[in-house]
Structure 1
Amino acid sequence: MVPNNTLKANHLFLVLFTMVIWGMNFIAIYFGLKGFSPFLLSAIRFALAALPWVFFLPRPKAPVKYILGYGIFTFACQFGFLFSGIYLGLSPGLSSLVVQVQVFFSMALAALFFNDRPSLWKIIGSLISFIGIGIVAANVDTGTSLAGLIFTLLAALSWAAGNMFSKKVDAQSPLALVVWGNLVALPFMVVMTLVIDGPSVIWSSLQHVSIPTIAAIIYIVYLSTHLGYGAWGGLLNSYPTAMIVPFTLLVPVVGFLSSAIFLGEDLTSWKLAASFFVMAGLAFNLLERQISTLTKKLTRKANQ
Structure 2
Amino acid sequence: MLKFSLLFIAMESNASAGIVSLLLQAQVIFTILLSVLLLKETMDRFQVVGISIATFGFSLFFINSSGSTTILGAVLILFAALFWSFSNLIMKRLQNVNLLHFIVWVSLVPPLPLFTLSYFIETDSPLTLLLNTTTQSWLSIAYVGYISTLIAFAIWGWLLKNHKAAAVTPFALLIPIVGIIGSALLLNEQLMRMEAIGGGFILCGLTVSVTGARISKIFSKPRADVLP
TM-score category, normalised to shorter length: 0.7 to 0.9
Which of 61, 67, 70 does residue 144 from structure 1 map onto? 67
Question: Greater shift after overlay, 283-292 or 131-140?
Answer: 131-140
Q: Which residue of 2 aligns with 1:61?
A: none
Residue 270 of structure 1 deviates from its aligned partner by 2.2
TM-score by length of 1: 0.62
Q: Deviations over 1:71-100 (max 9, x none)?
A: xxxxx1333344456664233xx7555533
1:121–1:288 contact (8 Å) kept in structure 2: yes
**Secondary structure of residue in 1 paired with 2:43:** coil
1:106–1:245 contact (8 Å) kept in structure 2: yes
Residue 212 of structure 1 deviates from its aligned partner by 0.9
Q: Deviations over 1:20-55 (max 9, x none)?
A: xxxxxxxxxxxxxxxxxxxxxxxxxxxxxxxxxxxx
Which of 243, 251, 257 does residue 175 from structure 2 map onto? 251
Residue 236 of structure 1 deviates from its aligned partner by 1.8
In the alignment, residue 90 of structure 1 is paired with which amino acid?
A
Query: Structure 1 unaligned runs (5+)?
Result: 1-75, 298-304
**Secondary structure of residue in 1 paired with 2:140:** helix
Residue 112 of structure 1 deviates from its aligned partner by 0.9
Structure (1 or 2) with the larger CA radius of gyration? 2
TM-aligned CA distance change 1:133 to 1:77, over 3 Å: farther
Q: Which residue of 1 aligns with 2:226?
A: none
2:58–2:173 contact (8 Å) kept in structure 1: no
In the alignment, residue 214 of structure 2 is paired with which amino acid?
Q
What aligned pairs does 1:59-74 form with structure 2 within 5 A after superposition?
Answer: none
Query: Structure 2 unaligned runs (5+)?
Result: 222-228
Query: 1:199 & 1:169 partners in 2: Cα distance?
Result: 39
Q: Deviations over 1:241-264 (max 9, x none)?
A: 222223333333322221222233
2:170–2:206 contact (8 Å) kept in structure 1: yes
2:64–2:192 contact (8 Å) kept in structure 1: no
Say whether residues 1:129 and 2:54 are aligned partners. Answer: yes
Superposed CA RMSD in Å reads 2.8
Q: Which residue of 1 aligns with 2:203?
A: 279
Query: 1:215 & 1:157 partners in 2: Cα distance?
Result: 29
Query: 1:281 & 1:154 partners in 2: Cα distance?
Result: 26
Query: 1:84 & 1:261 partners in 2: Cα distance?
Result: 29
Q: Deviations over 1:128-159 (max 9, x none)?
A: 1221233233445xx12224666554433322
What aligned pairs does 1:76-225 form with structure 2 within 5 A after superposition?
Answer: 76-83=1-8, 88-91=15-18, 96=21, 98-139=23-64, 143-147=66-70, 151-170=76-95, 172-200=97-125, 202-225=126-149
TM-score by length of 2: 0.80
TM-aligned CA distance change 1:158 to 1:102, over 3 Å: same
Residue 293 of structure 1 deviates from its aligned partner by 3.2
Query: 1:150 & 1:137 partners in 2: Cα distance?
Result: 16
Task: Count matched residues.
Answer: 218
Q: Which residue of 2 aligns with 1:232?
A: 156
TM-aligned CA distance change 1:282 to 1:228, over 3 Å: same
